Structure formats: structure tokens, C-alpha cells
A and B are shown apart, each in its own frame.
Chain A
Amino acid sequence: MKEKLERLEQEALKALEAADNPQEVQLLRVRYVGRKGAVTQCLRSISTLPPAERPLAGKLANEVKTRLEAAFKDSIEAFDTGRKRPDGALDVTLPGRPLAGGRLHPITQITQAICEIFLRLGFEIVEGPDVELDYYNFEALNIPKDHPARDMQDTFYVSENIVLRTHTSPIQVRVMERQSPPVRIIAPGKAYRVDSDVSHTPMFHQVEGLMVAENISMGDLKGVLTIFVHQMFDEETSLRFRPSFFPFTEPSAEVDIRCVICRGKGCRVCSHTGWLEVLGAGMVHPAVFEMVGYDTGRYTGFAFGMGIERIAMLKYGIDDIRKFYENNIRFLEQF
């Protein structure tokens, strides 16, 4: 028994010496001191020895087992800490060969996220021209010439009757002119206003939404926008509807969400109000329906619009809107 144990120990240590990697060490450990390992079996067979030999043999077997276990442990540690490296092994900590993909602009990513939500709700994506007739940008939206509401949107003019669209709302009219209800669309796109500071750029992006059918109520508007906000931000983000004015909706509402930065406690981003204005919305004004020949007795609808930069700034923690258009590659590669 003694010789056998000594032989096993020598053999195990020799094999351990030759082991090239931690996996191999593990195998050796199982082979010698595992549950069915050779040393373990010796230990079990002690009960078959004459009673007088048992204590000594038992002590020896336990000593061998302990020594081997320590040796295996030490060896694995040596590999783990890098004291020992398998022959011909690579320095796996060197960086991999880059297959760097490019990034999509944050405005695109947010637009896609918004559109995805509404697509799932059965909305269709439509688009319209950036350079737009005054008629579609203003008049058909119940903003006649010489109306003070024109001051709400400082306009770039191409000619007396052609403007750079100041919002994506003209798309509503273009769609309703060519399609009868029900209508369920969203319209992402660029918009332009004579404005430039930390929170305004002369070009920006909006997503417009429109739903028209029989019996659409303001409650439905709240429902759809609640779904949107919960999916865009999270379920804990509450909404607040506040009376406002847009010439093409009546009633009109500003939609605030609970500040996603401070959760309503008040911070710089929400000007310490706990709320963030993110959407304008309302029930489509009957004057707009009349312009496109919809039966105002039969149909009702809601419309809403939001600034994409605003949402991107909240989602990504960006404090200056102009960063989107500087296109510094180090900025863009963060998204």
C-alpha cells in the first residue's frame, strides 16, 4: 500500500510538471484525487487491510492526498495569474483585429425608435416635401396670412408662396387630400425655423402623427401617447396634458412627461419644474377637415407632433442641440 501511494504521488507530480494548460491540470486532479481517482480509491481500500495496518496506511494516504491537492491548486493558480503560460500560447489580452462598424446618426436612431412604436400600433409612415407651399404649411392648417399665430414659427421664405416647412404638419393635409378616413399615419422629417441657440437649430427634425376615424376622442389621444411615452422611456414615466393652442387643433394640448433625469424632484434640465415638454397635440380642427373635404359631423381625429432632437437630448443626455450638426466623428461614434 505504501509503495503504491508513493508511486502514485511521483507519477502525479511528474504528470503535473508536464501539464501544459489548466485544463490538463484539472484532468489530472480528477484522475488522482477526484471521487474515483486513484489516490481516493486507495484511501477507500484501507478498510480491507488488517486492522493493525490501517492507522498508518490511513495517515499516509491522507497526507498524499493533501499534498497532491495543494500541488494541483497551486498549478492552476499559476496559470490563472499568468505566472505560467502554456507553450506557444498567444497574448490573448492584445486587442482583437478591429472590424469596426460605423454608427447611425443619433437623430436616425431616435427616429427609427419612434417610428417602430407607431408602426406596431398600425400607423403608416409617410413623407412630404421640405420646400413647401405656404398653403400646406399654413393656410390649410388654419393659419391664414396676417394671423398672429404665424409669429409662433419664424419662417424661411423662398418666395411669397413657398417656404421651408416650419413643421411636419403639412404632411397631414397632403395625406388627407388624397385619402379618405380612416387615416393612421406618422410623418418623420426635417423642419426649418429662423432660430439658432443652445436649444434651437435652424434645421431640426419632427415626427408628426395623425389618426382620423369615426368616434376618435381626446381620451384616445391620451391613450396612444401614453403607450408611446411608456415604450419610448419607461412605464414609470407619467404624462401630463395641459391646455395650449395650435391653430390646427381644438382642443389643443402640450404634453409634459415626468422629468426622466430627476424623476420629478426638479433639476436643471426641467428648470426645476419636474416636467418636460415633449409633445404638442390636439383634436384635429374642423377647419382643417373642411379644407380637405372631410365630413366634420362624421369624423373626428387627433394629431400630435414632437421634436426628435429634444427626445434624443433626453435619451442621451446631450445639453447642446448644435452638437447634432457639428458631426464630430468622436461625438457620433458614441451612439
Chain B
Amino acid sequence: MKVSLSWLKDYVTIDVDAAELAEALTMAGLEVEALTDRYGYLDRVVVGRIVEIAAHPHADTLSVCSVDVGDGIKPVVCGAANIKKGAFVPVALPGARLPSGDTIKAGHIRGQPSEGMLCSEAELALGTDSSGILLLKDQAAPGKGLAAALDLSDAIIEFDLTPNRPDCLSVIGVAREAAAILKTPLKYQEVKVPAGATPIEELASVTVEAPDHCPRYAARLILDVKIGPSPFWLQDRLNSVGLRAINNVVDVTNFVLMEMGQPLHAFDFDRLAENRIVVKTARQGQRFTTLDGVERTLGAEMLMICDGKGPVALAGIMGGLESEIEDHTRRVLIESAYFDPITTRRTAKRLGLGTESSYRFERGVDPNGVRRALDRAAQIMVESAGGKPAEGVIDVYPRPIRKSVIELSVKRTNRLLGAGLSREEVGSYLESIELEVEPLNEDRLRVASPTFRVDLKRPEDLMEEVARLRGYDKIPTTYPESDVVGIPRGKKLKLRDRLRQVLSGCGFSQIVTYSFIEKDACDRLGLGDKDPRRRMVSITNPLTEDQGVMRTSLLPGLLATMYRNSAQRNENLKIFELGKVFLNPPAADRDELPLEVEMISGLWTGARYDKTWHFREEEADFYDIKGVVEAVCEGLNVKKPRFAPLSSPDFAYLRAGHAAELHAGDERLGAAGELSPAVLKNFHLKQTAFCFDLNFDLLVDHATQEKLARPISRFPATTRDIALIVDEAVEAGSVLDFIEGLGQELIEAVDVFDVYQGRPIPDGKKSIALRITYRSFERNLTDSEVNTIHEVVTNKVLKQFKAQLPAIDGWR
């Protein structure tokens, strides 16, 4: 929404500069988005004095002028006849951008150099005369800016208005706010329509068949108009707020729209069948061509303005091609109506057609301003298009909309604002914006708000008016009274913090990716047909195709991040994401929300350590990623986590034999391991990568927060090593579990310290070397005591796993 300072001044005395006014309006809630110089486009247009005129050697109609432009005499080729030596004229210098959009350049015209252009007033949008060069009456110094020489100055104020203030979508609306802030009265223009000869009822009729959608419809007829360009003042006003002048009828409706905020429509009355207007809803599927030339299919709920035969306008949105004003139009019917905001909004949305008019009807125009706007338009049209009005007005307004009346408590106003205002102060703020205030008692005011203020419905709305007119800066800064409360931080929040600490401690950086991903992500991960992660939540209006569904796994985001980083040559990556995935419920009820599950997933690719002078470059492997998961379990204090070879089809994206599932209790928390080559290929990745993908909600369930100190034995430990030669299929974990299961109290720990395959171990076998730590809480263990126990343990293990000891025994 744009207004010009000079237009505002028609209605309110403004004695501050534009910047000050803009600041004050912003602080009163009308946010000024931009403040620009109306005549900024005249920057490179200066006063010039014609020193010499010579005939153009190659063109009869052109002359070559020598023009003094202040910093020298320049040659300018000109075709106008009204120039003479000594005249003062506007010169557009190279670089000037004229209202037509043309940029002036220095160059040659028919072989003669020309370093500028002499301009007519029309070319500079300073008038309508295009017949000759503008001859300046006052002699100004050559080189002086034209705007300064002609004393042209105006500011354009552009607002970013909030949707609750449709009353400010007009010059008068903004002027009303300015008047309240500057504490000066608003000056309304006098509106007077000359009397007509024939009563309008004899010429036209209006029937409103859908009064719910159209509570008010008023019309006037202007006869004998002569269509032509508008007078300059009218064109200038429209230009100043960015509207293009069209003709002396349409311009008037646009002028009143901008001035009063009431959208109007002008019909060519002679093209309205049977000379009548019927306001009714459309037939489903009916076709209608709007004046932008687009044929549209109508819905049954859309409100149409019709004539005796059919639709002529989309009510409140756009007129039809068939009844628009043309050059030979003689009789004009002006429509001024109040259309229901919701009806207008639905139709505009359905058709994807928003106009200045629909924008205002959607937000709410003043139902009681309809008549005044109509009269204003008639008055100006008679002046500008030379018409005569028919006598009277048709005004269908069966159920007048009244002012809303609100009772306001001064005490409650003060309580909400933290202020100490008197009843009189509250009242005078409200009166300054044309609200009617009547005291009921010491505390209460009865406030009637005019119908142009659609946003004032409740006492709190009035409290805001008081607060903003007084200035939010006047509200004192206070602190709420508060009880001491101790709110424990929830388990999940604590564990999230802990988890992020653990992972960053492991060298993993956190990433955050979009919650929406591409639809085929499940296929690319190779998930099975029945996989629950295929129950994706689709977005009906995604921004791009690859953001079409809500993610059901964090892996696509990690893989896409790896892809982007590898394109940037960031080849060593340790990253994780902690975030929600979204699963549709199994039997999708239309209004049931999806299940939101929090996951923690990470990816490790490239070297184990960044290459430095310390380390040989080594690739990360399965045991690296497993170590991270172990650190996570330890950090979160997960009860008894267990790793097992993959058995579930859920982890099809991991390479078989190079990945493990994580279990705790009887639940599976996720998996970790190498990504399958097929998945890497599907995500266009070349480098081996390892990932973990764990359900954070389940981790939280299995995490214990209590930590109890166990006693530490004062006695020394004794260790014994044992190397077992077993079948290659035997898992180290099962050997450890077996030893633990023996329940030998003196065994404190068992560690694997070597695994070896190859000569001299026979094919199909491997050696696992264990170190068993023995310790007692009560005494020093003797060697022979430990040897005895160790032999028993060794024999049980050998038997259980059909293992052998190596040829050279490891007893020490």
C-alpha cells in the first residue's frame, strides 16, 4: 500500500517531514516499508538554456541545438518546433531514466552527435502536453536539477500493513492515523453530486438475490460521458501510487478506491442486457471471461454480478470483458457495494485471482462508506468525463450493519497495560480515531466503533488502540511476580544433551536437514514392501518434488549430506543427526496425526583420523562405528546392550556380514554397520561409509539415570592369558558370554586381546586370545589358587567350543 505525502496533505495538515511521519506511523503500528522520493526519476534531468539552433544537415525536421547544461555546452538533436534560442528547457542527460522506461544515452542521431534529450512535459510525466518541448517560465541557472527548479517535491510512503487494518488501505485511512498521531483534525472533502434530469429508477434496476453474500449494492448512472484521457491532476495522483492511468471513467473508480478504500466498478450501461443488475451466485460449471481475457469456470458458491442475460462481473474481484468501458461508451453504471469478506476470499482463492478490489473486500471494507464513495465517484466523473448524472441512487441495503458497541473497563485496561491512565485519557485516545465514547460510570466506558474498523470487537482491541496511540514505549518495564518453582528437566531433554555431548566427544559433528525428503527414498534404501517406513506422510503442496514426503528415516539426509560434502572434497566425514521421523498410522485415518519417532543416526566415511604427521592414513571400519554405538550406550547408561548379526529385514541398507543389530532387553534399538554397495550407488556415492541408525525414544526407555557406586576391591588382580583355536564361525561374543555364564565369582573381567587367522593356524580355524582377570574382595589370591580355577575355566571353554590350545601353550 502506497500513499504520497502530498495526497495525504489533502486531508490532514502535516507539519513534520516525511521521515518523521513515517517513523511515527511505524511506531503506531502502520509499518513503513519504504520511503522514496517521488521525483527521484528526475535525478539526471536538468535545466538547460538553448544557446544556438542550427539546422540538421541530413534531416529537415530535426535541428541541432547547443545547450548550456551548467558544466558545458552540449549538442542535442531535437525534433520539436517550439524551441527557440535563449529558451530554458528540461534536458535529460545521459543516464536519465524517463517514465516511459527509456534510458537516455549519448550518441549520434542521423550522423550528428547528441548528448541528451530535450523533453516535453508528458515525457517527464509532469503534464499531458506532448506537442512540444516544455518551455520553462522561470529562468533558472542552467545545470540546476529540474525538480528543484520547478519546486517539485513529494515523498512516497509504502506500508506493509497487517491484515487487521483494511481501513488503512486508503489515503483517508492513513490520513486518519496521521491526524490522531499529530493531534490535528481530519479534513473530509465535500462530496456533492449535481442533480440529474431522469430518475435512475426509470432507466435501471438492481436485484440482490443473495443478500448474505452481498449485504449492500448501490449504483449510479452517468449519462453522456465522453471517454478520453483524465485530467492531469487525476493521472498524477494515480501515477504517484503506482497505478497507470487508463481513461477518465476507469481512472475515477481507481482514484476513489485509493482515496477511500472502496472498490468500485464501472459498467458500460448500454452493454448490460435489459439495463438491469442481478446479484446472484453462479451456476456450477458456468464459464465466464474476465476482463484480463481469461475464461474461467465458475463454482456454485461464487457470487456474480449479472445483467438480464448472464454474468457481467465476478463480484468484488474483476469485471467481465463484455461490459468493460470502451472508447465509445456513452452511459456508465457505477457500482459501489459491500461484498461478504469470506465469499470474496473463497472465490478469489479458488480462481487464483487476487486484485486490489478483492484484497480489500476480503479484509473488509466499510459497509456504511459505500454511498459516500459512490457519490464521490459520480462527482468526479461528471467533472472529468463531462457526463450528467441520472437523478438519484439505487441503494439495496436491506439490513444495515451497525457500529459495534464495546464496554471498556479502565481498570482492566490499566491492568493489562501496566499503566495508570484516567478514564478521560483512555476516552480521548479512542476519540482521536473517531470512536464514540460515553462514560457509564467511574470505571466503564461505552465505546461505539465505526464500521470501517472491522478489527475492533472486544475490550482488548480497544486496549491495544489506547496502547499504540499512547506509544508502546510509554508502557513501563516491570517484572512478573513469581513463585519459586523447581522444574526438573525431563529425562528425554537430559539424555538429548548427554547424547550430543557423547557424539561430539567421539568427533561427530551434528547436522540438521529438512524433515521432508524425496518420495523414492525408501526404494533407494532398498526397504521391503511391507516396511513401516513406507507409510510416508505426503505433502499436498511441496515446494519441490524432492521435498514431497516427510522423512521416515534420517539416512537419506545423512547420505545427501555426504554427497554434497564429497562434491566439496570433504571426504572424511563423521556426522550425526538427532531428529524426528514421521510414520503414518497403519490404517490411515484422514484426521489422525502421524507417529513422530525420534531417531539418532550417524555416518562415518573416509579416514579414521585426519591425515597428519602422526598417523598413517587408515580407513574407518565396522569396529569404529560399533565403538561409537558402544560409547552412546555407555554414555546414556543403557542397560545391557547386546550386538547380534543382522537378522531383521529392516536393515536391508546395511551390508550383510558387516553390520550388527543392537538389542537391549527384548527390544531392538537399531543397527550399525557398513552401508550396502547398492544403497551407496542409489545415492550416487562412491566411498565406503558406515552408519548407525538407532531409535532414540527406545534408547531413552532403556537408559537408566541412577548410577550406583560398586565397592572396589583392595586386593591385587592376577591375570591369565589363554589362546583358543576355534572354528572360524565361532563368535568371540559367545565365548565371553559363556565364561560370564560360568558364574565364577573370582573372575573380574575377560578381554579379547587378539584375533588371528592364517599360518600356522589351520584353514577354517582362527585363534582368539583372551585375558582373564582374577581378583578377590577378601584376600590376595595365590598363584596356585588362580591356576586351579583357570584350568577349570579353560577346560570348560575348550569343551564347549570344541577348541584347542595352540601347540606352544600360553601359560605364563
Q: Which residues of A contact B (CB under 8 A)?
A: 94-95, 97-98, 100-105, 107-108, 112, 119, 122, 124-125, 129-133, 146-149, 151-152, 156-162, 164, 182, 184, 190, 192, 194, 196, 201-203, 211, 213, 215-220, 222-224, 226-227, 240-245, 250-254, 283, 285-287, 300, 324-330, 332-333
Docked-complex contact B475 and A219, CB < 8 angstroms: yes
Contacts of B477 in A (CB 8 A): 219, 222-223, 226
Supplied contacts A159-B590, A220-B480, A250-B458, 7 more A-B pairs, CB within 8 Å: A94-B613, A105-B510, A122-B482, A220-B418, A243-B472, A251-B460, A251-B463
Residues of A within 8 A of B29 (CB): 242-245
Shortest CB-to-CB span from A302 to chain B, Å, is 9
Q: Is A184 within 8 A of B485, CB to CB?
A: yes
Q: Is the CB of A159 within 8 A of B540?
A: yes
The residue that A332 contacts in the complex, of B464, B509, B590, with Cβ under 8 A, is: B509
CA of A112 to CA of B494 in the docked complex: distance in angstroms?
Answer: 12
**A-B residue pairs in contact (CB < 8 Å), sample of 12:** A101-B504, A102-B508, A102-B575, A104-B510, A108-B512, A130-B582, A194-B541, A217-B417, A218-B467, A219-B419, A245-B29, A325-B512
The answer to whether B804 has its CB under 8 Å from any CB of chain A is no
Of the candidates B163, B463, B483, B550, the one whose C-beta lies within 8 Å of that of A149 is: B163
Asked whether, in the complex, the Cβ of A151 is within 8 Å of the Cβ of B461, the reply is: no
Knowing A105-B510, A194-B541, say if A224 contacts B570 (CB, 8 Å): no
CA distance A203 to B514 in the complex (A): 6
Question: Chain B residues in contact with chain A, CB under 8 A?
Answer: 26-29, 31, 162-165, 341-342, 345-346, 362-363, 415-419, 458, 460-461, 463-464, 467-468, 472-473, 475-485, 487, 489-490, 493, 497, 500, 503-516, 537-543, 547, 550, 561, 564-565, 568, 570, 573-576, 580, 582, 590-591, 593-594, 596, 609-610, 612-614
Contact of A158 among B539, B547, B574, B596 (CB under 8 A): B539
User: How many whole Å from A85's CB to the nearest CB in chain B?
Assistant: 19
Chain A residues with CB under 8 Å of B547's CB are: 202
Q: How far is the CA of A252 from the CA of B346 in the complex (A)?
A: 27
- Chain B residue at minimal CB-CB distance from A297: B412
Residue of A nearest to B488 (CB): A124
Instruction: Give the shortest distance, in Å, between B543 (CB) and chain A (any CB).
Output: 5
Chain A residues lying within 8 Å of B540, measured Cβ to Cβ, are: 156-159
**Closest-CB distance, B565 to chain A (whole angstroms):** 5
B342: chain A residues at CB < 8 Å are 146
Q: Which residues of A contact B506 (CB under 8 A)?
A: 102
In the bound complex, do residue A286 and residue B460 qualify as a contact, i.e. CB atoms below 8 Å apart?
Answer: yes
Q: Are B515 and A203 in contact (CB under 8 A)?
A: yes
| Chain B positions within 8 Å of A190 at CB level | 515
Q: Which of B480, B485, B507 contacts A224 (CB 8 A)?
A: B480
Q: Which of A146, A196, A242 contacts B472 (CB 8 A)?
A: A242
A184 to chain B, nearest CB (A): 7
Cβ contact of A95, chosen from B497, B543, B565, B612, cutoff 8 A: B612
Which residues of B lie under 8 Å from residue A217 when comparing CB positions? 415-418, 478
Q: Given A217-B478, A218-B416, is A131 in contact with B594 using a C-beta cutoff of 8 Å?
A: yes
Instruction: Flag if A219 contacts B509 (CB, 8 Å).
Output: no
Partner of A253, one of B164, B472, B614: B472
Task: Decide: B574 and A98 in contact? CB cutoff 8 A.
Answer: no
Q: A98-B610, A105-B510, A330-B570 are in contact. Are A131 and B593 (CB under 8 A)?
A: yes
Q: Which residues of B contact A224 (CB under 8 A)?
A: 479-480
Q: Complex Cα distance A129/B598, Å? A: 11
Q: In the complex, are the beta carbons of B565 and A329 less than 8 A apart?
A: yes
Contact A97/B614 with A285-B460, A329-B575 known, Cβ cut-off 8 Å: yes
> How long is the Cα–Cα vector from A157 to B543 in the complex, in angstroms?
11
Q: Specify which chain A residues have a CB less than 8 angstroms from the CB of B561 in the assembled complex.
A: 327
Nearest Cβ on chain A to B165's Cβ, whole angstroms: 7
Please determine whether B570 and A329 come into contact, CB atoms closer than 8 angstroms. yes
B202 to chain A, nearest CB (A): 40
Interface pair A327/B614, CB less than 8 Å apart: no
Which B-chain residue is minimally distant from A109 (CB atoms)? B510
Instruction: Tell me whether B570 and A244 are in contact (CB under 8 A).
Output: no
CB–CB A245/B550 < 8 A: no
**A223 nearest in chain B by CB position:** B479
Bound together, the chains give a CA A329 to CA B472 distance in angstroms of 44
A101-B504, A146-B342 known; A283 vs B538 contact (CB < 8 Å): no
Q: Is the CB of B591 within 8 A of A219?
A: no
Closest CB of chain B to A143's CB: distance in Å? Answer: 10
* Shortest CB distance B447–A (Å): 15
Cβ-closest chain A residue relative to B567 = A328
What's the minimum C-beta distance from B235 to chain A, rounded to whole angstroms? Answer: 31
Q: Determine if B489 and A158 form an interchain contact, defined as CB atoms under 8 angstroms apart.
A: no
Q: In the complex, which of the residues A100, A108, A213, A220 contacts B510, with contact meaning CB atoms closer than 8 Å? A: A108
Shortest CB distance A298–B (Å): 11
Residue from A102, A108, A242, A253 whose CB has the most chain B CB atoms within 10 Å: A102
Which of B163, B503, B505 has the largest number of chain A CB atoms within 10 A?
B163
Give the CA-CA distance A286 to B509 in the complex, in Å. Answer: 45
Point out which of B162, B506, B507 has the most chain A C-beta atoms below 10 A from its C-beta. Answer: B162
Contacts of A219 in B (CB 8 A): 417-419, 475-478
Residues of chain B lying within 8 A (CB to CB) of residue A330? 568, 570
The 5 closest A-B pairs by CB, nearest first: A219-B418, A243-B29, A245-B162, A217-B418, A251-B464
CA distance A300 to B538 in the complex (A): 39
How many Å from the CB of B364 to the closest CB on chain A?
9
In the bound complex, residues from chain A placing their C-beta under 8 Å from that of B489 are 119, 125
B591 touches A161 (CB 8 A): yes
Q: Which among B28, B341, B468, B613 has the highest number of chain A CB atoms within 10 Å?
A: B468
CB pair A101–B507 under 8 Å, yes or no, is yes
Of B164, B342, B458, B477, which is in contact with the most chain A CB atoms at under 10 Å from its CB? B477
Contact A125 B478, CB 8 Å, known A159-B591, A164-B539: no
Task: Write out the residue numbers on chain A whose beta carbons fall within 8 Å of the beta carbon of B537.
Answer: 131, 158
Distance in Å: Cβ of A97 to nearest Cβ of chain B: 5
With known contacts A131-B537, A131-B582, A159-B540, A103–B504 Cβ distance under 8 A: yes
Q: A residues within 8 A CB of B346?
A: 146
- A122–B483 alpha-carbon span in the complex (Å): 9
A157 near B415 with CB under 8 A, answer: no
Q: A95-B613, A159-B591 are in contact. Are A222 and B478 (CB under 8 A)?
A: yes
Inter-chain contact B509/A333, CB cutoff 8 Å:
yes
Residues from chain A with a CB closer than 8 A to the CB of B507 are: 100-102
List of A residues within 8 angstroms of B612 by Cβ: 95, 97-98
Return the contact of A98 from the options B415, B543, B550, B609 (Cβ within 8 A). Answer: B609
Q: What residues of B have a CB within 8 angstroms of the CB of A254 in the complex? A: 31
Residue of B nearest to A213 (CB): B480
Q: How far, in angstroms, from A226 to B483 measured CA to CA in the complex?
A: 20
Identify which of A213, A224, A251, A253 gathers the most chain B CB atoms within 10 Å of its CB: A251
* Given contact pairs A98-B609, A102-B574, A108-B510, A215 touches B460 in the complex (Cβ within 8 A): no
How close is A204's CB to chain B, nearest CB, in angstroms? Answer: 10
Taking a contact as CB atoms under 8 Å apart, the answer to whether A148 and B345 are in contact is: yes
In the complex, how many angstroms separate the beta carbon of A180 from the nearest chain B beta carbon? 15
Which residue on chain A has the smallest CB distance to residue B346? A146
Contacts of B550 in A (CB 8 A): 130-131, 164
Chain B residues with CB under 8 Å of A218's CB are 416-418, 467, 475
Q: Which residues of B contact A159 (CB under 8 A)?
A: 540, 590-591
Instruction: Please state if B163 and A327 are interface contacts (CB–CB under 8 Å).
Output: no
- Whether the Cβ atoms of B480 and A223 lie closer than 8 Å is yes
Q: Which residues of B contact A329 (CB under 8 A)?
A: 509, 565, 570, 573, 575
Partner of B505, one of A101, A152, A161, A333: A101
- CB-based contact B570/A102 at 8 Å: no
B550 CB to nearest A CB, Å: 7
For the complex, what is the distance from the CA of A160 to the CA of B591, rounded to whole Å?
Answer: 9
**A130 with B596, Cβ < 8 A, contacts A95-B612, A286-B458 known:** yes
Q: Are A223 and B478 in contact (CB under 8 A)?
A: yes
Q: Complex formed: what's the CA distance from A119 to B481 in Å?
A: 16
CB distance from A92 to the nearest CB of B (A): 14
Cβ distance A310 to chain B, nearest Cβ, rounded Å: 15
B594 near A327 with CB under 8 A, answer no
